[in-house]
Amino acid sequence: MGGKSKVEMVRLKTTFEDLGFDSVKTFINSGNVIFISDSTDPKKLVSQIEQAIERNFDLNIKVVLRDLQAIQATVEALPANWVNDATTKCDVMFLWDDIDTPDVLKQLPQIHTDFEEIKYIPGAILWRADKPFARKSKILKIIGTDLYKKMTIRNCNSVRKIYALMQAA
């Protein structure tokens, strides 16, 4: 959650605990929540979480849920040199189910292959650019589009940290 949909992470954590989830942890102020649930029905979990957020924060937020195996697959698909640092920018664009297909890449602007790379994996798009040229990427043109509204973006360092927190839980 970000932009106009900011919530206190302490209240968000409590919301998840009130739903009966265990080992609830939040990570940075962007709505990342790590938790353990006995439920094996992702659609039911998403519905419960979305309803609780609307009830507790008066926000109609779409939730993207990824389990440990999905985050592990994402982290393993990220090349080791794809990082966020002084020389490189790297993001993971987690996709809503209705656009989660390799064809989603056809909906993106053409990248500059001389300074950036992009690839699809189930559940996400991975993007990396040389830092000095990242702001010249045509990928930025998706901001505000319908496609952009069907994804949530985290930098690759955050995704790796979330994976570590999930493993610890």
Q: What percent of the chain has pLDDT over 70?
A: 97
Q: Report strand pairing: 32-36 vs 88-95.
A: unpaired
What is the model's pTM? 0.91
If one counts every other C-beta atom within 10 angstroms of the C-beta of residue 118, the result is 18
Kindly report, residue by residue over 129-169, the tens digit of the pLDDT. 999 999 999 999 999 999 999 999 999 999 999 999 999 98
Angle at which helix 156-168 crosses helix 68-77, to 10 degrees, equals 140
pLDDT classification of 4: cutoffs 50, 70, 90: low
Longest dimension (CA), the chain: 49
Domains of the chain listed by start with CATH number: 9-57 (3.30.70.1280), 77-155 (3.30.70.1260)
Kindly report, residue by residue over 95-133, the tens digit of the pLDDT. 999 999 999 999 999 998 999 999 999 999 999 999 999
